[in-house]
Amino acid sequence: MKQHLLNNRYIYGLISLLFVAKLAFFFGYNNFSEAPDSWAFNHFVTELINNNFDDYVGERTPGYPYVIYLLNHDKILVVLTQMLMGIITAFFWFKTLLNLNFSEKVAFYVTLFSSLYIQNFFYETFILAETFMLLLNSIVFYFLLNNYFKKQQILVEITLSVLLAILILVKPFFIFYPFLIFALYLLKNFTFKKLVSVKLILFILPFYAYFNWCSFVEEKIGYFEPTAYFGLNLAQNCLYFAEKGPKEYDFIIQPYVKYRDEMLQNGEDASMAIWKVWGGQHLAPKYTKFADVTNQFGKYAKATITSNLGDYFYYSITNSWFDFWKVFDMKPYMKFQDNEFNSLISVINSIQIVVVLILKFAFLILSFYYLYDLIKNRKINAVMLLLAFIHAAAILQALVVYGTNAKYAFPYEFFMLVVILLFLKERFNWFSKVAHISQPA
């Protein structure tokens, strides 16, 4: 027993320290948090509890609400469970670093440093899906970075297929994952034989979950889509060229431009202007149901984007894509009861935000280096895998929605740090793996 504890002292130490830290934050904050998006999750959970979806308007997918439902909609219990998720996430981060040939000591300190990022604690107190998404992403990357492309194991493929299906039911945005995984598998030492592979299992459960859920949504709101938000989100991308849409959509354009200009003048978040068009019932009496309104928003957005592709790509890059590399601060949405604790957390948060911004900038710089390396050597390794996922997420979110885009980066921030560490290890031989304590020197 003593030898076992000694051999695994880093992982047990990590779990113990995080348990204490999260418990201290829990008692210091002594609350749970609600954001504007929390309402939709709470509403969905109520529908699950009542087993009645007559009022379902297509606002959310079931992945995260079902977790809250299993916890009997007890919000304090949700917070404690999400803190437990944070500890499990740290475990997979630690194991991932070991798989990437970092020493146990380095893996311990890097994981501890990353897990004590105060935004992790913030998200764990919210009725929001980010903590659950972070956990699922971390497990997926643990598998992918553990020599995944060299393996042909049915159990691994089934496990990944299940994880991806759950992830997609939490947020349909992740539907690109199985495509990207399989594409990277094909690119690594391509042969036509690889086109028919056990790795095609990856697509089965994610596709089943996605299309089955879309069928349920179609039954309830009349549109075959994962949520009713897609049209509204796409219309957000038209914010700065909203008036350039076809005249037939003037009933949307006129109030949209009006709210946009007012919000910009008042220094408000103008990305929410399209929501005011819905809130002001400007499409009534012809369109009053949320799903019908957002469907019209989608038609308007597609027509406007098609005729203004230059504006669309320009603003997608300069707004949506650029915002991905910022840090979305959840603290303003939180209510601290202890002023001293609030002040301490504010100082830590401010310092950490600057550090994370610097790390993101370093990651972007390194991306250019590795792009050159990919063109030169054409090798698919751990770094290339992480770059592919992070930049795919950055580009796709920019093309789909404008507003709070920095939240899309949250599940990837740790892995941006991993890319930086891998570069330092590769180029300068830092963080070399040392012999395990049980092994002879």
Residue 434, pLDDT above cutoff 70: no
pLDDT band at 150 (very low <50, low <70, confident <90, very high): confident
Question: Mean per-residue pLDDT for 309-318?
Answer: 93
What residues pair up with 33 in beta bridges, in sequence order? 126
Question: Tens of pLDDT along 352-364?
Answer: 999 999 999 999 9
pTM: 0.93
Residue 378, pLDDT above cutoff 60: yes
Name the residue among 426, 428, 440, 431 with its Cα closest to residue 104.
Answer: 431
In a 10 Å sphere around its CB, with 0-12 CB exposed, 13-18 middle and 19+ buried, how is residue 214 labelled? middle
What pLDDT shows up at residue 188?
81
Question: Tens of pLDDT along 318-344?
Answer: 899 999 999 999 999 999 999 999 999
- Please, are residues 380 and 148 in contact by the beta-carbon 8 Å criterion? no
Question: Mean per-residue pLDDT for 57-66?
Answer: 94
Helix axes 104-115, 75-99, angle to 10 degrees: 150
Name the residue among 120, 173, 117 with its Cα closest to residue 393.
Answer: 173
Question: Mean per-residue pLDDT for 245-260?
Answer: 96
Range name among 201-215, 254-268, 391-405 with the lowest pLDDT average = 391-405
CA distance 180 to 144: 12
- Calculate the alpha carbon distances from 412 to 16, 131, 151, 217, 409 in Å: 24, 12, 24, 29, 5
What pLDDT shows up at residue 439?
33
On the question of a cis peptide bond just before residue 285, with omega within 30 degrees of 0, the verdict is: yes
Range name among 78-87, 129-138, 159-168, 227-236 with the lowest pLDDT average = 227-236
Question: Mean per-residue pLDDT for 44-70?
Answer: 94
Question: Mean per-residue pLDDT for 273-287?
Answer: 93
User: Where do the H-state alpha helices sit in 60-116?
Assistant: 63-70, 75-99, 104-115
Residue 296, pLDDT above cutoff 80: yes
Question: Tens of pLDDT along 109-147?
Answer: 999 999 999 999 999 999 999 999 999 999 999 999 999
Arithmetic mean of pLDDT over the chain: 92
Residue 106, pLDDT above cutoff 60: yes
What pLDDT shows up at residue 441?
28
What pLDDT shows up at residue 210?
97
Query: Tokens in use for 29?
Result: 């904050």
Residue 180, pLDDT above cutoff 60: yes
In the numeric block, the tokens 């028919």 are attached to 196
In a 10 Å sphere around its CB, with 0-12 CB exposed, 13-18 middle and 19+ buried, how is residue 175 labelled? middle
Helix axes 177-187, 204-221, angle to 10 degrees: 150
In percent, the amount of the chain with pLDDT more than 90 equals 83
pLDDT band at 380 (very low <50, low <70, confident <90, very high): confident
What pLDDT shows up at residue 438?
30
Map residue 33 onto helix, strand or coil. Answer: strand
Range name among 163-177, 348-362, 393-407 with the lowest pLDDT average = 393-407
Query: Tokens in use for 59?
Result: 């606002």
Residue 6, pLDDT above cutoff 60: yes
What pLDDT shows up at residue 437?
33
Question: Tens of pLDDT along 189-198?
Answer: 778 888 888 9
> Residue 193: how many CB atoms within 10 A of its CB?
7
Question: Mean per-residue pLDDT for 296-323?
Answer: 94
- Please, are residues 421 and 110 in contact by the beta-carbon 8 Å criterion? yes
Query: Tokens in use for 164?
Result: 């991806």
